[in-house]
């Protein structure tokens, strides 16, 4: 029976396992990505971070002056207001407590003074970092103007409007839909051609937010030519780390679509992504993980597709050594992302052989000594490799994999238990030595306890291993 069809008795197919893993990991990582967005959505100049905070009363006074449209210094008031709005939701609420304040800001945005327009857009950008009602209010009142100014000649205003649209899109799928209907995607894609790096970066930020939850937006972006523009940016020499990071996040969300991933591979994205990951390891850019994190996610998404994609990635002989270094990275999430990539690459037999006969295997096994998140990811890799039969399983056993996995049968996490049982079953199936080591490490006593596990599937898997490999007589002895 093919290793892609079944990896253990009574278990789901390996493709089902990989699909389930990919979907669950995408959701987890989206939540983490959301926290990243929340950290960067406010816009504040570096020198302003050192200035004293503005009180709520002072903020309200500025709002009232803005509504009056008197002879006060409007630009200075807007600068004060944008600083106040960066201080948090309580200050954003003030905008909505003062009648017509939001409308007054939009009025300045649509005026003829370019400096004041930029300041008003900055204020609206920070308002959009508030709650959903705040963001929706900005979307309905100002988003059409933001979109219009994307195609203007004022690059400072383009940059600010793209950032504002990114904040709006980062709020919810509902906001993304509003922006999409208002026609924001084509001009944002076009802005990726800007000669101004900050405009490109803000456009990429907005596009990443727009496509992360709405697959239709990904398709529209592709239809408007985003892929060749992204590839050109990736291949640009001396691209800044911040800009490369934003572009990488766009890639991550585009590769959620299998169809788009196929198109990207045909255009040469895969080799470019691998080159960037390798470059990050040799230039010691792992420490921050700013670029390598989204690149690993994109690579993992692509390699969850046809096995040919993994083979294409491995055409770069430096990829496997790079993944080894990434598993040793000081940032825990980078090691987890690397395991995610390996779990998607190890459906191919030739890649599995390079892992089990190389230094990667010991580093993968070392991840089992860490917390549950690492254990789960490492077990996915081990299970995928063990499906390839006797030769691979023999190497896994010889390197101590069974002895490392058996203690995990005491773990309470259901996914870890399920994977640990699957791995033990496969190795025992293929190797008498694995069966001996399993017993020596107390595996049978763990199985006995799991027969009373509250989860019926775990019970059944434990009983099946006992009945299949240790005989029904053993089960009867346990209960005598």
Asked if 380 and 469 sit in the same domain, the reply is: yes
Q: Which of 9-18, 112-121, 178-187, 234-243 has the lowest mean pLDDT?
A: 9-18
pLDDT band at 10 (very low <50, low <70, confident <90, very high): very low
Report angle CA 273, 279, 282 to the nearest 5 degrees.
Answer: 150
- Asked if residue 286 has pLDDT above 60, the reply is yes
Whether 243 maps to a domain, the answer reads yes
Q: Which of 183, 215, 243 is the last residue before a domain boundary?
A: 183
Lowest mean pLDDT among 51-65, 284-298, 464-478: 464-478
Distance CA(134)–CA(26), nearest Å, equals: 28
**Which DSSP string do the residues of 263-274 spell out, in sequence order?**
HHHHHTHHHHHH
pLDDT at 292: 94
Cα three-residue angle 246-339-250, rounded to 5 degrees: 15
**pLDDT exceeds 90 at position 16:** no
Give domain status of residue 295, yes or no. Answer: yes
Query: Does one domain contain both 153 and 229?
Result: no
Asked if residue 35 is part of any domain, the answer here is no
The pLDDT value recorded for residue 23 is 55
CA separation for the pair 278, 292 (Å, rounded): 9
pLDDT of res. 28: 56
For every residue of 376-429, DSSP letters joined together read: HHHHHHHHHHHTT-HHHHHHHHHTTHHHHHGGGGG---HHHHHHHHHHHHHHHH
Domain-embedded: residue 395: yes
Q: State the residue range of the domain holding 261.
A: 225-347
> Looking at the structure, do residues 339 and 262 belong to the same domain, yes or no?
yes
Q: Is pLDDT above 50 for 397?
A: yes
Q: Which band of pLDDT confidence, cut at 50, 70 and 90, is reported for residue 73?
A: confident
* pLDDT value of position 71: 52
| pLDDT of 12 above 60 | no
The mean pLDDT value for 329-353 works out to 93
Q: Is residue 220 included in any domain, yes or no?
A: no
Residues 321 and 366 in one domain: no
Answer yes or no: do 336 and 419 share one domain: no
Residues 179-211 have pLDDT tens digits of 999 999 999 999 999 999 999 999 999 999 999
52: confidence class by pLDDT, cuts 50, 70, 90:
confident
Q: What is the CA radius of gyration of the chain?
A: 27
- The answer to whether residue 193 is domain-embedded is no
Domain contains 441: yes
Domain termination residue (choose one: 157, 183, 209): 183
Q: Is the pLDDT of residue 5 over 60?
A: no
Which residues neighbour 269 within 8 Å (Cβ) at sequence distance 6 or greater?
A: 227, 230, 231, 234, 251, 302
Confidence of residue 19 (pLDDT cuts 50, 70, 90): low
As a whole number, mean pLDDT of residues 440-449 equals: 95
3-state DSSP assignment of residue 113: coil
Query: Do 324 and 407 belong together in one domain?
Result: no
CA distance 467 to 45: 67
**One domain for residues 288 and 309:** yes
Q: How many CB atoms lie within 10 A of CB 76?
A: 11
Predicted local confidence at residue 1, as pLDDT:
31
Distances (CA, A) of 265 to 15, 304, 312, 347, 351: 21, 13, 9, 18, 19
CATH of the domain at 440: 1.25.10.10
Higher pLDDT, 115 or 39: 115
If we measure between CA atoms, which residue out of 249, 167, 160 comes closest to residue 196?
160
Is there a domain that residue 428 lies in?
yes
pLDDT bracket for residue 347 (50, 70, 90): confident
Q: Is the pLDDT of residue 474 over 60?
A: no
Question: Do 179 and 268 lie in a common domain?
Answer: no
Residues 319 and 410 in one domain: no
Encoded tokens for 38: 């929340």
Whole-angstrom distance, CA of residue 10 vs CA of residue 252 = 34
What is the band of 24 on the pLDDT scale with cuts at 50, 70, 90? low
State the pLDDT at residue 34.
44
Question: What pTM was computed for the model?
Answer: 0.87
Cα–Cα distance, 304 to 388 (Å, whole number): 17
Whole-angstrom distance between the N-terminal and C-terminal Cα of the chain? 37
Please, which pLDDT band fits residue 39 given cuts at 50, 70 and 90?
very low
Helix axes 269-282, 258-267, angle to 10 degrees: 80
Residues 90 and 134 in one domain: yes
Question: Is the pLDDT higher at 70 or at 214?
Answer: 214
Q: Quickly state the pLDDT bin for 36 (edges 50, 70, 90).
A: very low
Q: Are residues 45 and 177 in the same domain?
A: yes
Cα(41)–Cα(92) distance, integer angstroms: 14
* Residue 64 burial (CB count, 10 A): 13
Would you say 380 and 339 are in contact if contact means Cβ atoms under 8 Å apart?
yes
Domain final position from 293, 316, 347? 347
H, E, C per residue of 129-155: CCCHHHHHHHHHHHHHHHHHHCCCCCH
Query: Structurally, how many domains does the chain consist of?
Result: 3
Residues 312 and 381 in one domain: no
Identify which of 183, 99, 194 has the alpha carbon closest to the alpha carbon of residue 143: 183
């Amino acid at each position: 029976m093919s290793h892609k069809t079944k990896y253990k008795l009574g278990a789901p197919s390996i493709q089902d396992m990989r699909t389930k893993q990919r979907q669950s990991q995408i959701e987890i990582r989206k939540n983490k990505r959301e926290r990243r967005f929340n950290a960067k959505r406010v816009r504040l100049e570096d020198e302003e971070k050192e200035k004293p905070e503005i009180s709520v009363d002072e903020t309200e006074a500025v709002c009232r002056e803005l509504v009056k449209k008197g002879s006060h210094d409007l630009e200075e008031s807007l600068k004060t207001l944008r600083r106040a709005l960066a201080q948090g939701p309580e200050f954003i609420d003030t905008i909505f407590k003062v009648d017509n304040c939001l409308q007054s800001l939009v009025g300045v945005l649509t005026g003829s003074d370019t400096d004041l327009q930029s300041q008003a857009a900055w204020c609206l950008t920070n308002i959009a970092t508030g709650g959903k009602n705040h963001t929706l209010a900005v979307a309905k009142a100002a988003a059409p103007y933001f979109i219009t100014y994307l195609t203007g000649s004022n690059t400072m205003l383009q940059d600010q409007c793209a950032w504002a649209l990114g904040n709006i899109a980062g709020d919810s799928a509902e906001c993304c839909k509003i922006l999409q209907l208002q026609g924001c995607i084509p001009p944002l894609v076009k802005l990726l051609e800007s000669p101004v790096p900050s405009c490109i970066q803000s456009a990429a930020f907005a596009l990443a937010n727009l496509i992360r939850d709405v697959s239709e937006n990904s398709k529209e972006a592709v239809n408007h030519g985003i892929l060749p523009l992204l590839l050109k940016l990736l291949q640009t020499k001396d691209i800044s780390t911040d800009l490369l990071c934003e572009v990488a996040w766009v890639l991550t969300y585009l590769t959620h679509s299998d169809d788009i991933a196929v198109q990207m591979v045909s255009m040469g994205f895969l080799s470019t992504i691998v080159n960037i990951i390798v470059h990050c390891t040799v230039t010691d850019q792992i420490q921050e993980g700013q670029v390598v994190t989204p690149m690993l996610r994109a690579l993992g998404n692509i390699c969850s597709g046809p096995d040919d994609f993994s083979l294409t990635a491995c055409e770069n002989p430096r990829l496997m050594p790079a993944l080894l270094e990434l598993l040793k990275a000081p940032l825990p999430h980078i090691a987890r992302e690397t395991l995610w990539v390996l779990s998607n690459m190890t459906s191919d037999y030739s890649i599995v052989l390079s892992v089990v006969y190389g230094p990667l295997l010991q580093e993968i096994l070392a991840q089992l000594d860490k917390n549950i998140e690492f254990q789960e990811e490492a077990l996915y890799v081990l299970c995928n490799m063990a499906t390839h039969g006797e030769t691979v399983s023999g190497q896994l056993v010889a390197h101590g994999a069974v002895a490392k996995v058996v203690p995990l049968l005491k773990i309470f996490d259901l996914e870890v238990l399920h994977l640990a049982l699957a791995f033990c079953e496969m190795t025992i199936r293929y190797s008498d030595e694995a069966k001996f080591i399993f017993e020596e490490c107390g595996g049978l006593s763990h199985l006995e306890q799991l027969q009373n596990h509250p989860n019926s599937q775990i019970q059944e898997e434990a009983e099946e291993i006992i009945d299949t490999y240790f005989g029904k007589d053993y089960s009867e002895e346990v209960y005598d």
